[in-house]
Structure 1
Amino acid sequence: MGGLHAGAIAAARKLTDDQAVVSVTAIGVLGKPSDLTPELREREIAPRSRKPLAELLLTSD
């Protein structure tokens, strides 16, 4: 998830030195694009693209 600030989350949750933030998960209900500002709406409804796994992972043959 973009915008993960592990240090800020750790401080807010008062994590100890032997605990670490490694991921975050957004939960909730998906909103309607019509509720967004025009700029955010355009971004939300734009086609999405992802890199092929071959560009992200290293494998051995």
Structure 2
Amino acid sequence: MANRTAKILDCETCSGTGEVIADWEKYLEQHEDALAECDDCDGKGTRSADPEHAHIREAS
């Protein structure tokens, strides 16, 4: 069996920042607590491109 390395891509939900806007009103007023950790990438900003390795969240 070949040893494959999963491709790591930027998370589509947070665009690779690891954060999402949790409260638009606070965000527009530039409050620090307007952002939250992205649930899709656990705040790392990356995800695996290979569905078989979807649990991989960061590059080695």
Tell me whether the two structures share a fold, i.e. TM-score over 0.5: no
Q: TM-score range by the shorter chain?
A: under 0.3
TM-score normalised according to structure 1 size: 0.25
Q: Which has the higher strand share?
A: 2
Larger RCO, structure (CA 8 Å, separation 6 or more)? 2
Q: Which has the higher helix share?
A: 1
Larger Rg: 1
TM-score normalised according to structure 2 size: 0.25
